[in-house]
Amino acid sequence: MINTTKLGLAGLCEGALLPDARLAELEKIAARYAVAITPAMADLIDPSDPHDPIARQFVPDIRELETSPQERGDPIGDNAHSPIEGIVHRYPDRVLLKAVNACAVYCRFCFRREMVGPGRGGLSPAALAAAVDYIRDNPQIWEVILSGGDPLILSARRLKDLAARLTAIGHVKVIRIHTRVPVVAPERISAALVRALRAQNKATFVVVHINHPRELTAEARAACARLVDAGIPMLSQSVLLRGVNDDVETLGALMRALVECRIKPYYLHHADLAPGTAHLRTTIAEGQALMRALRGHYSGLCQPGYVLDIPGGHGKSPIGPSYLCDDGKLVEDFNGRRHCYPPEP
C-alpha cells in the first residue's frame, strides 16, 4: 500500500487549511465519508482563498451532510452489474476490476464515496483469484480496467503480480488503469512501478483523473513523463465541478496542459448524483455551453467527450451539444453560423 503521509481533518487544521473552529462540525463528515489529502495537494491550496479550487476538491464542506432526494449511494449502479466481489461487468467486452477500496486522496465528489476509505483494504487473495477466474471464464472480455479505490496505491510487487495474472489470459488484450496517483502523489511513479505496469504483449493505458491545471505541477508532469516515456499511453478523465473548472478559461487551460504533457483528454464527466454533492454539480446545459466554447477555439486534441453515467447502471452516454439543426438540414459552425447540408446547388 502507499506509504505517502496523508493529512486527515486534524492535519488539515494544523496546516491552516481548515480553521480549528470548524473541526467539530466537520468531524461529522469524516464519520461518514473518508477524508485525506496528500502533501502534494495540500501544498497547492491557498488558505487565504475561500474559493480555492484545489481545496474545493479535497477539504470537507458541511454541505456534504445535505442529501437531495435524487442522490444515491451507488449513483452509477455498480452493484447491479457486479456478478462477484471486485468485478463490475456493465459492458460486454470489458470489466472493471476493483482490486483495492482505498485511495491516496478522497475527493469530496466521489461517486464511490460510500464504498471507499481507509481500512477498507482490497480484495482478499481468494476474492482476487475468483475475480481473475471470472475474467478467464468469459472470453468476450477484451479489456480489464483496474479501478477501485486507486490501484496505484498498491506496491510495485503486487501490481506486477496482478498484471502477470491478467497477461496470462489470452483474450484480454488491453489493461487500463484509472488513477489519481501521478498527480496527487507523483513520487509513487517510480521506475519499479512503471516496470510493473508494462504487461508483456498487452496494450496498457493509464487514465489519470485531474480537474484543474494547477494540479499539473512540475513533479506531476515528470511522473506522467516517466509513464509515457516507458511506452504507456496516457489519457485523462475530469469531472465538471462548480467552482473548480466550470469556466472555459480554466477548462481550456487544463486540456491544453494535458496535451502538452502528451496526455489525451478522454472524458469530461458530468458530476454523478453521489450523496452530499449537490453544491459541486453544474447543470447539463452549463456543461454543453462549455463544450461549445471549447470547440473551434481549442485544438481538436483538447476536446474531451462530455458524458453522463446514467443513474441505475445503464452506462455512459455522450451528452455534448448537437450542431445539427432543423431536422438535420442545417449544421452550425463553431462561430454559431448555420449552413445548409448538403449545400444548395
Read off the pLDDT of residues 290-341 as tens digits, 9 standing for 90 and up.
Answer: 999 999 999 999 999 999 999 999 999 999 999 999 888 899 999 999 999 9
| 91 catalytic per annotation | yes
| 292 catalytic per annotation | no
| 103 catalytic per annotation | yes
Whether 20 maps to a domain, the answer reads no
| 110 catalytic per annotation | yes
Percent of the chain with pLDDT over 70: 93
User: Which one of 98, 108, 112, 165 is the catalytic residue?
Assistant: 112
Whether 192 maps to a domain, the answer reads yes
User: Which one of 91, 120, 136, 338 is the catalytic residue?
Assistant: 91
Whether 49 maps to a domain, the answer reads no
Read off the pLDDT of residues 152-190 as tens digits, 9 standing for 90 and up.
Answer: 999 999 999 999 999 999 999 999 999 999 999 999 999
Whether the per-residue pLDDT at 1 is higher than 50: the answer is no
* Residue 153 zone, left/alpha/beta (φ > 0; ψ -120 to 50; rest): alpha
| 13 catalytic per annotation | no
Whether 17 maps to a domain, the answer reads no
Whether 208 maps to a domain, the answer reads yes
Whether 327 maps to a domain, the answer reads no
The DSSP string of 31-61 is TTS---B-HHHHTT--TT-TT-HHHHHHS--
**pLDDT band of 106, cuts 50, 70, 90:** very high
User: Which one of 106, 272, 302, 306 is the catalytic residue?
Assistant: 272
Strand ranges, E, within 100-189: 143-147, 174-179
Assign residue 231 the CATH number of its domain. 3.20.20.70
What is the count of structural domains for the chain?
Answer: 1
| 316 catalytic per annotation | yes
Whether 31 maps to a domain, the answer reads no
User: Which one of 52, 78, 150, 309 is the catalytic residue?
Assistant: 309
User: Which one of 33, 52, 78, 110 is the catalytic residue?
Assistant: 110
- The secondary element (H helix, E strand) that includes residue 133 is helix 125-137
pTM of the full structure: 0.92
Whether 331 maps to a domain, the answer reads no
User: Which one of 94, 158, 173, 292 is the catalytic residue?
Assistant: 94
Please tell me the distance from the alpha carbon of residue 43 to that of residue 335, in angstroms, as a whole number. Answer: 40
The residue count for the chain: 345
| 157 catalytic per annotation | no
Range of the domain at 161: 69-320
| 112 catalytic per annotation | yes
Strands 316-318 and 174-179: unpaired
Other Cβ atoms within 10 Å of 155 Cβ, number: 15
